[in-house]
Amino acid sequence: MSANNLAAVNCTAIEKPNNKTDAAAPAGVPVIDYEGSGYRLDFWEGQGREYEDAVERIALQRLLPPQGRRIAEIGAGFGRLADLYLGYDQIVLFDYSRTMLADAVRKWGHDPRFVFVAGNLYQMPLAEGSLDTLVMVRVMHHLANVPAALAQLQSLLHQSSTAVLEYANKRNLKAVLRWLTRRQPWSPFDPAPLEFVAMNFDFHPGWMAAKLNDAGLRVDERFGASHFRLPALKNNLPAHRLARLDSHLFRIGGKFPLAPSIFVRATAPDTAERPQSEASPTQLFRCPACATYPLAAIGPTQLQCPSCTRQYGQTNCIWDFKLPE
């Protein structure tokens, strides 16, 4: 199968199932479950977050290589940011939630460059060294085991890859002021991750820098973003103007991170050279259960692991590598 028809088979949208609560991932790390969630409509569309969306877009445009062979967004949700990746030959949208991906399929399923993959980032089904560029935005703040996640992400990179990762900053200005005025019991200077609501974490920039380094990820740029998340500003200035103003603070905000959102750009110098691989399913995927590579094609949309014999398939445009709970 060629790169293009990886995404072209069976592109009918999936029905939305009922909402579910958190699930335990087979890897033993809890995973937040967005299956059936109304994230697009309840959080983004018409919800007054045009400024946040615009800021994130400017940050990504500055940090991402504009083109390349293959980019993957990890935790891509409904594909909100996918138009930023159109300079790439192949665009992988990876998420744990099949219904979020189904939403992305509705928007992007007609474009043969897109590959939709359901799976758990703690058990990555993408092959080692398979990505030129990796993006992860608004996902780290749901990760209960950042070192395990970063180890998986690092394995997807090769020597000339770029990874752009966003995380929520525990040591943001609002938290510092609240702590100094005793309106908040926890210290923003304590390096440990803060789980402020179940499965929602804020991270200290120093702690995150150490974990990125431990995972073999070398940060070459850090931006602070979304400095102006204040209703008084958001209600009185056009979102794009506020976002442009914010972008002037990206660099200084990266040096002195007080913004609620931090973007880092990293490379993985200890990885192998860029592989010469094609984009066929047998070359793009590994077994998420036992990491065996390559998988064997047993049909146009069916793969089998030669070691553990598990089978994985593509339905309604989505390659499904979620393991049973």
Ligand X SMILES: C[S@@+](CC[C@H](N)C(=O)[O-])C[C@H]1O[C@@H](n2cnc3c(N)ncnc32)[C@H](O)[C@@H]1O
Q: Which residues pair with 311 in a beta bridge?
A: 304
Distance of closest approach, residue 182 Cβ to ligand X, in angstroms: 31
What would the two tokens of residue 301 be?
């949309």
Subset of residues 39 to 58 that bind ligand X, contact rule: CB under 6 A: 39
Give, to the nearest 10 degrees, the angle between helix 146-155 and helix 205-214: 40
Q: How far apart are CA 80 and CA 125, in angstroms?
A: 22
Q: What count of other Cβ atoms lies within 10 Å of the Cβ of residue 129?
A: 19
Q: Which is nearer to ligand X, 6 or 124 (CB)?
A: 124
Q: Which of 59, 121, 168, 284 binds ligand X (CB under 6 A)?
A: 121
> How many residues at the interface with ligand X, by CB under 6 A?
19
Distance of closest approach, residue 5 Cβ to ligand X, in angstroms: 25
Q: Which is nearer to ligand X, 1 or 199 (CB)?
A: 199
Distance of closest approach, residue 137 Cβ to ligand X, in angstroms: 4
Q: How far apart are CA 242 and CA 307, in angstroms?
A: 53
284 in contact with ligand X (CB under 6 A): no
Subset of residues 130 to 169 that bind ligand X, contact rule: CB under 6 A: 137-139, 142
What separation in angstroms does the CA of 292 have from each of 63, 195, 223, 310?
32, 34, 37, 11
Q: Which is nearer to ligand X, 77 or 257 (CB)?
A: 77
322 in contact with ligand X (CB under 6 A): no
122 in contact with ligand X (CB under 6 A): yes
Distance of closest approach, residue 43 Cβ to ligand X, in angstroms: 7
CB of 65 closer than 8 Å to CB of 163: no
CB of 32 closer than 8 Å to CB of 22: yes
User: Which runs of E-coded beta strand occur in 129-210?
Assistant: 131-136, 157-168, 194-197, 200-202
99 in contact with ligand X (CB under 6 A): no
Distance of closest approach, residue 299 Cβ to ligand X, in angstroms: 26
The phi, psi pair for 145, rounded to 5°, reads -135, 85
Distance of closest approach, residue 130 Cβ to ligand X, in angstroms: 16
Subset of residues 77 to 96 that bind ligand X, contact rule: CB under 6 A: 77, 80, 95-96
Binding mask 16-35 for ligand X (x = CB under 6 A): ---------------xx-x-
Question: How many residues does this entry show for the chain?
Answer: 325
Applying CB under 6 A, the span of 70-78, 186-194, 237-245, 252-260 interacting with ligand X comes to: 70-78
120 in contact with ligand X (CB under 6 A): yes
Residue 34 corresponds to which amino acid? Answer: Y
Best CA proximity match to 162, nearest among 254, 80, 67, 248: 67
Q: Which is nearer to ligand X, 97 or 130 (CB)?
A: 97
Q: How far apart are CA 186 and CA 189, in angstroms?
A: 9
What is the distance, to the nearest Å, from the Cα of residue 208 to the centroid of all Cα atoms in its chain?
Answer: 16
Q: Which is nearer to ligand X, 80 or 229 (CB)?
A: 80
126 in contact with ligand X (CB under 6 A): no
76 in contact with ligand X (CB under 6 A): yes
Task: Provide the 8-state DSSP code for 309.
Answer: -
Distance of closest approach, residue 142 Cβ to ligand X, in angstroms: 5
Q: Which residues bind ligand X (CB under 6 A)?
A: 31-32, 34, 39, 75-77, 80, 95-97, 100, 120-122, 137-139, 142
